[in-house]
Structure 1
Amino acid sequence: MSFWLNKTNIKQVLSSRLFYKAFAGFWLTIVCIFLLLVLFTRLQGELLDNDPLHGRHLDSLKHLKRNIVRLVENKNRTLQEAVDHPRLSRHSMILLVHDNVDKTVSTENNDRNLNLSLLNDLGDQNTPSQIRTERYIAYGPLDISLNQDAYRLYQIRQLPRPMLFHSIRMLPAWMKLLAVFIPSVILSVFLTIYLITPLNTLSRSARRLAQGELNVRAPTNSQRKDEVGQLIHDFNFMADKLTHSIQAHKQLLADVSHELRTPLTRLNLANAMAQDTASDATQNYLARIEKESQCLDKMLADVLTLSRLEYTDHSLTIEPISLSSLLQELLLNAKFEAQQHNKTLSNNAIPDIELSCDAILLTSAIENITRNAIKYANTHIDFDIAQNAESLIICIKDDGQGVDDSALAELGNAFYRTDSARARQTGGIGLGLAIAKRALIAHHGDIQFTNHQPHGLTVTITLPL
């Protein structure tokens, strides 16, 4: 509770545009409910309700009855003269209801044209009640016999102004519920759409940004100045800064990798010259230097390749090529490499279809994935090729240890390596799968990593036809 009563929080809430919009929406709903109730009272016409009559009002009505009987029977006044008597009708009207409407008598001072027919419609109600309408209050009836005719006596008091809230209270329950339901639902829907739609759009943009779409931005509305609009503006500002930072990081990595190739080339040249004049004792050291230099050169080449693929404006050399031409030599080389490690690689028939792709880049991607499977398999690798109406699907399965489920989503990220079977002693720096993934994305394809039973990793490549 102390958190909400904090002065700083109260000031922040009171200065919030969204607070005033929600506040206005709440009171607009209340006003609409009230106006709809008023409309229903006008459409429904004049209503009435009643409560049992007791106390001084009942005593007053009985006293009025006695006076009317005295005037008519003892002083031989007519019924109209009796109900118009100044002393009796000074502060109220008198109504004598007969079953024959033509014999009904009322005070003639009905200058406000009160609708007294409502009392006629009550029929045989005999229990005295306090009957309320929008414009008057009637007390009665009391049975009274005058000139051998049976009447029902009402005493009526005009109200200075229509009782609006009383009319609303007399509405049927279903009308009251409808008056509350309609504005509440309509205004709640509009308010919800107004608040939730930009938040849903922002949420989708955040997910796409997290998935690597650095150019995605949430649509802005210059008319919106509340906290939601500010949140969208801050998100886009953050996305701009993040994109700039990532691109600067990638550019730095590419520039450093490129610049390192020049001294590496000189190192290789100096090493080759040294080997020509070196003694047998130093040849082993120079050979080791050459081997490590080649590994470093391969790493730099992979970094440069990945850097080029990560730029959206990287152009591909798209040409039509048959799938058998693309995969046949790759599979032959892969089977030979597997044999060298005492493993086997099997594949099904290659479909006779044609792809439009960058053959060198796509072959390199599939080869990276296949060699990765050979490296981590225990004894066998399956290379399955299938197609449907829209895509080509290649599944490469190994029977190795697989990957922890928590690490599957990280495969394909640059420089990511698992900690168990796929450890650093197997070689590489974690760029092979990253390059393959970027190459497939550049071809509008997809790559998925899953563990299969009883053990091993399955890499599924999907390419559009």
Structure 2
Amino acid sequence: MRLPTFNNLYGRIFAIFWLTMFLVLLAVLALPHLDPRKSRDLPSDMYQRIVVQKDMLEERFRGEGNLTRILMFLEGNGNGNRGQGPMMRDEEKDSRPRFFVTDLDGNVLTAREHPDFKYKALQNFATSIESLDKPQQRLYGRYMIAGPVPVTFAHQNLLLYVGFRWDQPPPFLLQLFDKPIQLLLAVMLVSTPLLLWLAWALSKPAQRLALAAQRVARGQFEADPDLEKGTMEFRQAGRSFNQMVEAVNQMISGQQRLLSDISHELRSPLTRLRMANALATRKQGTSSELERIDTEAQRLEQMIGELLELSRMQTNSHLSREEQPLRSLWEELLSDAQFEAEQMNKTLKFDAIPNVSISGNPKLLMSALENIVRNAIHYGKDTIVVRFSTTEHHVTVSVEDNGDGVPDDELTQIFRPFYRVSTARDRHSGGTGLGLAITESAIRQHSGVIEASRSPLNGLKVQFTLPI
């Protein structure tokens, strides 16, 4: 059976589960050793201090033969301050170590004048001692009892215990287990970073995969090596995604190369056709039939040229990019278009070009706007308007005309190669149906979007947005 690894999604989940179980087990095993409310061995330093106190008491009462008088002294003045014991408050008494005495059978000889709590606690502790050779300590509420230590008073072998107030806070784990709300908060505090780490480990490769899918949707068929990182499941998904992208890219590239080869091959017979038409015109003179042949040959040559340009644009998905100000790209182009419109008795108006820069291929960006503007000049009646707007990350360009426009159900189709609108934009208008297709390809390769709609001028409005 293959063991889960950290490169496996399920392996990470199992690792977090077992780590949590280990921490819980560690807490359960450590709790008895940390709980002062359970009897445990007396630390050596405390044991030595009790032995020193025991020797001092034995030395003090060496000549005393009355055990009752010794016990009365221990009852009232555990540290030898005679006369002050009855006047002290209970808190002050509890703050000083006090000595208690039992016989070898565990019967308590002192502490009878103390509260029942201390007497019962001492009696419980004394009867729980299993071996006199192993002194222990135990916490009862806020009172710690330690012992026993063998002692000799009035020629009798007895056992000495020490009791004192325990002012130290209980261990952190005990506070948690005693207070369920704090325990819940502690578990959340420990598990939250682990869960956040797991969520991050799962979301990061998923985000990379989503971004790669968005790039493919924009027409950027590029394999991303980073997709093959992370857990085994995401590596497999990323590898499959890259294989799919490469297969689609090869298929599209093959189709585009075929289209380009066919276009190149068509130019040879087209050139011979035009030469033959020129020879016929020289021998027989001009005629309407020969002029029609020349016109269609010119239109076919224009179509083949635009088809080759579109094919090269779609094949070259890795464009050489440079940063250019928008004014240097489009200002001269719009001025020339304005002059051309005036020669046709039409008016072209355009806003001030924003003073921002854009990263891209200058030739394609100029061609994109030029095709739209010339299309508007050709089909508009007498007015063309070019508008610019910018945001923090994008620039939007809209070109409107007051021509016949495009039917609403065909607005999404005009960017298809060779598509012709059924009304005004037909073959007799002189277009090849590739201008807007070239524009759409250029905008898409620069991670932009383009759309067509009805203009407020009652004509066509073409708008595209590019990142800046």
Q: Same fold (TM over 0.5)?
A: yes
Checking the alignment, whether the CA contact within 8 Å between 1:382 and 1:396 is kept in structure 2 is: yes
Checking the alignment, whether the CA contact within 8 Å between 2:313 and 2:441 is kept in structure 1 is: yes
Tell me the CA shift for residue 191 of structure 1: 1.6
Matched, 1:303 2:325: no
Q: Deviations over 1:294-334 (max 9, x none)?
A: 22111100011223334257779999969664433322223
Checking the alignment, whether the CA contact within 8 Å between 1:322 and 1:353 is kept in structure 2 is: no
Checking the alignment, whether the CA contact within 8 Å between 2:390 and 2:396 is kept in structure 1 is: yes
* 1-structure distance, mates of 2:141, 2:464: 86
Look up the equivalent residue of 2:198 and give its one-letter code. L
* 2-structure distance, mates of 1:349, 1:22: 58
Matched, 1:242 2:265: no
1:334 to 327, 331, 341: 341
Checking the alignment, whether the CA contact within 8 Å between 2:329 and 2:362 is kept in structure 1 is: no
Look up the equivalent residue of 1:118 and give its one-letter code. Y
1:269 to 272, 275, 283: 275
Identity across the alignment (%): 28
Checking the alignment, whether the CA contact within 8 Å between 2:267 and 2:304 is kept in structure 1 is: yes
* 1-structure distance, mates of 2:375, 2:436: 8
Q: Deviations over 1:118-145 (max 9, x none)?
A: 26869xxxxxxxxxxxxxxxxxxxxxxx
Task: Indicate the SS of the match to 1:382.
Answer: strand
Look up the equivalent residue of 1:99 and give its one-letter code. P
* 1-structure distance, mates of 2:448, 2:366: 15
Tell me the CA shift for residue 288 of structure 1: 2.8
* 1-structure distance, mates of 2:420, 2:190: 58
Aligned residue number for residue 25 of structure 1? 16
Aligned residue number for residue 372 of structure 2? 369
Change (3 A) 1:98 1:182: same
Task: Indicate the SS of the match to 1:235.
Answer: helix
Matched residue pairs, number? 360
1:118 to 120, 128, 140: 140
Aligned alpha-carbon RMSD (Å): 5.2
Aligned residue number for residue 209 of structure 1? 216
Q: Deviations over 1:197-244 (max 9, x none)?
A: 11111111121122122235141556x562211111111122222222
Aligned residue number for residue 380 of structure 1? 383
5 Å-filtered alignment, 1:56-455, equals 98-99=114-115, 101=118, 104-106=122-124, 107-108=126-127, 110-111=129-130, 117-118=139-140, 170-220=177-227, 226-277=232-283, 283-310=287-314, 311=316, 325-337=332-344, 339=345, 344-348=346-350, 364-377=367-380, 380-384=383-387, 395-399=398-402, 400-401=404-405, 404=408, 408=412, 412=415, 414-415=417-418, 428-438=431-441, 448-449=450-451, 451=453, 454=456, 455=458
* 1-structure distance, mates of 2:313, 2:464: 18
* 2-structure distance, mates of 1:392, 1:186: 41
* 2-structure distance, mates of 1:118, 1:176: 23
Look up the equivalent residue of 1:250 and give its one-letter code. Q
* 2-structure distance, mates of 1:243, 1:202: 18
Task: Indicate the SS of the match to 2:226.
Answer: coil
Deviating more after overlay: 451-460 vs 357-366: 357-366
Checking the alignment, whether the CA contact within 8 Å between 1:412 and 1:434 is kept in structure 2 is: yes
Q: State the TM-score, normalizing by the size of structure 2.
A: 0.59
Change (3 A) 1:355 1:263: farther
Checking the alignment, whether the CA contact within 8 Å between 2:227 and 2:234 is kept in structure 1 is: no
Task: Indicate the SS of the match to 2:130.
Answer: coil
Change (3 A) 1:186 1:464: closer
Task: Indicate the SS of the match to 1:212.
Answer: coil
Q: Deviations over 1:133-169 (max 9, x none)?
A: xxxxxxxxxxxxxxxxxxxxxxxxxxxxxxxxx9899
Change (3 A) 1:414 1:171: farther
* 1-structure distance, mates of 2:129, 2:363: 103
Tell me the CA shift for residue 450 of structure 1: 5.1
* 1-structure distance, mates of 2:356, 2:136: 92
* 2-structure distance, mates of 1:453, 1:245: 38
* 2-structure distance, mates of 1:378, 1:188: 64
Look up the equivalent residue of 2:453 and give its one-letter code. N
Checking the alignment, whether the CA contact within 8 Å between 1:326 and 1:359 is kept in structure 2 is: no
Look up the equivalent residue of 1:201 and give its one-letter code. R
Checking the alignment, whether the CA contact within 8 Å between 1:17 and 1:226 is kept in structure 2 is: yes
Task: Indicate the SS of the match to 1:105.
Answer: helix
* 2-structure distance, mates of 1:351, 1:423: 33
Tell me the CA shift for residue 363 of structure 1: 5.8
* 1-structure distance, mates of 2:334, 2:180: 77
Tell me the CA shift for residue 353 of structure 1: 9.2
Tell me the CA shift for residue 404 of structure 1: 4.5
* 2-structure distance, mates of 1:445, 1:200: 18
